[in-house]
Amino acid sequence: MGEMSYNKYGDADMGLSYLLIKGIKQLNIDDEATLSNLLLDMMPTAKIEIEQDFLSVILRESYSYNFSDIIFNTNAELYTNLSLYESSIFSDYDELIKDKSFKMMQLRFDRIYLNDKILFYERILDVIDETFKRQVLKEFYDDPEFLNTIKVFIEKNQNTSEASKFLYLHRNTLINRIEKFYRVTGYDLKKFEDAAIVYLLVKDAK
């Protein structure tokens, strides 16, 4: 498997991150080797180890891969139900190892894919009740199509052209909805502070 060395700063000039793939014990030797080789082909500088029921992958550089898609495809091809956690970026190797050990012990791998953004949103949503959502969203609380429009607009970095293309809406229609949302709720989705609050309430809209 891949080997890699670090100075005491963990190659601080490069971003360090890691992946944890839970459920390795359910794989046979051939499937385990297939998965390890796939990851090494994609990320040749990665350090890959088996730890307990985890495949641990330490990365010393940034990759643009969608690891969510990778684990879903892997499960489909290997007929298994592995779970993958993708860490944030670290500048210190010791901090990465400490965080990795903590996540292996404490994190519930109850979904196929997790990252720190997902965990962050879930912590906040745990303290946001439906009363608060209804208070902020007002008449749009029971309008999933409208809320999905708002969600996509925010996810497209508040770019009306990109969001309208994605939604198959005329750009003016989207602008009118954004303005209507502001008139009714008082939240201006063109402002970062307002959009950040509203996104927590609509991120699961479909």
For residue range 117-153, list pLDDT tens digits in order. 888 888 887 888 889 899 999 999 999 999 999 999 9
Domain boundaries, the chain: 17-123, 128-202
Residues 6+ apart with CB under 8 A from 182: 188, 189
CATH of domain 128-202: 1.10.10.2840
Which region among 8-17, 138-147, 160-169 has the lowest average model confidence (pLDDT)?
8-17
Q: How confident is the model at residue 14 (pLDDT cuts 50, 70, 90)?
A: low
Could you tell me how far CA 173 lies from the centroid of its own chain?
30
Residue 145: is it exposed, middle or buried by C-beta count within 10 angstroms (0-12/13-18/19+)?
A: exposed
CATH classification for the domain delimited by 17-123, as one of 3.40.30, 3.30.70, 3.30.420, 3.10.20? 3.30.70
For residue range 70-118, list pLDDT tens digits in order. 999 999 999 999 999 999 999 899 999 999 999 999 999 999 999 998 8
Residues 6+ apart with CB under 8 A from 116: 87, 88
pLDDT of residue 1: 46
Question: CA–CA separation, 146 vs 150, rounded Å?
Answer: 7
Residue 178 near residue 189 (C-beta atoms within 8 A): yes
Beta bridge partners of 114: 85
